[in-house]
Amino acid sequence: MSNAIAIMEASMISGMNILDIISHNLANADTAGFKREISVIQPFSSVLSQASGQSSTNSSENTTTYTDFSLGIPRHTGNPLDLTIEGDGFFTLESPLGTLYTRQGSFSLDASGHIVTASGYKLMGEAGPIRLTSEQPRIDNEGMIWQGDELAGQIKITDFANAASLQKIGSGLFRAGSSSSQLVTEGKTGLRQGFLETSNVNGMHEMVHLISTMRQLEGSQKVIQGYNDMLDLAIETIADI
């Protein structure tokens, strides 16, 4: 009986973790460049094996979270400093935390003329941070930034052999992990000026996932309640004897 309760406990803890992930995805459904999180639960046989050797199962051993790097749909904004990466790769940023990467292409100019994110992190070019004298540059498909006939720089796009190795640090930002291998884009990735990549969250899919998770939690709760009722009956029966 204790093993069954441990399994139900692990199931409910995993369900609560999944609800947190779904809530986070839905809250960022309108966030430009947001990449949804996916939860993967261990097979039932693995949980059963763990529960047979201990009274409870750690939730961190049940659920693993991954980032879905599938592309969002470009949305036209008309802002010359809004950029979308067509294909794989990330904008490269200079920050106090070191080099960071993002798919969120909403930029502006700071007081010194550098192209920066909302957090003030500088957009990197092939030759370093990019500095402009105009808020109306022309940016071509290869990331070349033009101010009139003058070339101001080229935006640096960084790709990785295994994007799953990137560490998600929040606000649409990623840090390269120890196993992250950078790749040269070699023109495979293009840019679209005046567009922002939308979130890849599918609201309908997340709502269906939310409902199924709630039903799973309700089922686990009923099983635990059933065992509790059985224990109450057993105690009453023993008392009568």
Query: Based on the domain organization, do 100 and 161 belong to the same domain?
Result: yes
Average pLDDT value for the chain: 84
Residue 74 pLDDT class (50, 70, 90 cuts): very high
236 and 144 within one domain: no
Find the domain containing 94 and state its range: 74-197
**pLDDT tens readout for residues 179-221:** 656 665 544 678 999 999 999 999 999 999 999 989 888 888 8
pLDDT tier at 55 (50, 70, 90 boundaries)? very low
- Pair (84, 191) in one structural domain: yes
Q: Print the SS3 string covering the chain.
A: CHHHHHHHHHHHHHHHHHHHHHHHHHHCCCCCCCCCEEEEECCHHHHHHHHCCCCCCCHHHCEEEEECCCCCCEEECCCCCEEEEECCCEEEEEECCEEEEECCCECEECCCCEEECCCCCEEEECCEECECCCCCCEECCCCEEEECCEEEEEECEEEECCHHHCEEEECCEEECCCCCCEECCCCCCEEEECEEECCCCCHHHHHHHHHHHHHHHHHHHHHHHHHHHHHHHHHHHHHHC
If asked whether residues 111 and 179 sit together in one domain, one would say yes
Same domain, 172 and 57: no
225 pLDDT higher than 90:
no
| Pair (81, 179) in one structural domain | yes
Number of domains in the chain: 2
pLDDT value, residue 104: 94
